Amino acid sequence: MTDELKIDPGCYYTKEHEWAKPSGDVVIIGISDYAQSQLHEIVYVELPKKDTNVNQGEAIGAVESVKAVSDFYSPVTGTVVEINEALLDSPEKINSDPYDNGWIAKVKPSNWDTNVSKLMDAEKYKQHIATLKH
């Protein structure tokens, strides 16, 4: 595995490799570069439903690659306000650009402070990934 994995310093991360990035009154969520590199070629994404209430840590969709299907867990509690429908036709955007064009959903968090207290910042996530490489 390469040490060239991207970690967006503006994101917060889960141990399951989802990310959450505050943007105004919503939080953009997706899977990390590490996660997409482990899955390899992503061929299908099951997106959460718009206007659905989600809980931090609960499965809200799935990412399917040629190797495996992995659940996608919400890194925050709140309401899904937008989904990245472009992924339905081009799921590989998660592989090529997991933090920008490969985002999965936007969630209006019920309480950002409570959510973020259970997430890792970029530096802690980098340390977490380092423990997995060995």
Domain that holds residue 29: 12-112+119-129
- The answer to whether position 1 is within a domain reads no
Q: pLDDT value at position 3? A: 52
- The answer to whether position 63 is within a domain reads yes
**What are the pLDDT digits (tens) for 42-78?**
999 999 999 999 999 999 999 999 989 999 999 999 9
- The answer to whether position 30 is within a domain reads yes
**The CATH number of the domain where 81 resides is what?**
2.40.50.100
Q: pLDDT value at position 4? A: 78
Number of compact structural domains in the chain: 1
- The answer to whether position 92 is within a domain reads yes
Q: pLDDT value at position 45? A: 97
CA separation for the pair 86, 89 (Å, rounded): 6
- The answer to whether position 20 is within a domain reads yes
Q: pLDDT value at position 2? A: 42
- The answer to whether position 5 is within a domain reads no
Task: Report the greatest alpha carbon distance in the chain.
Answer: 40
pLDDT along the chain (134 residues), means of 10: 78 98 97 95 97 97 95 98 98 97 98 95 96 77
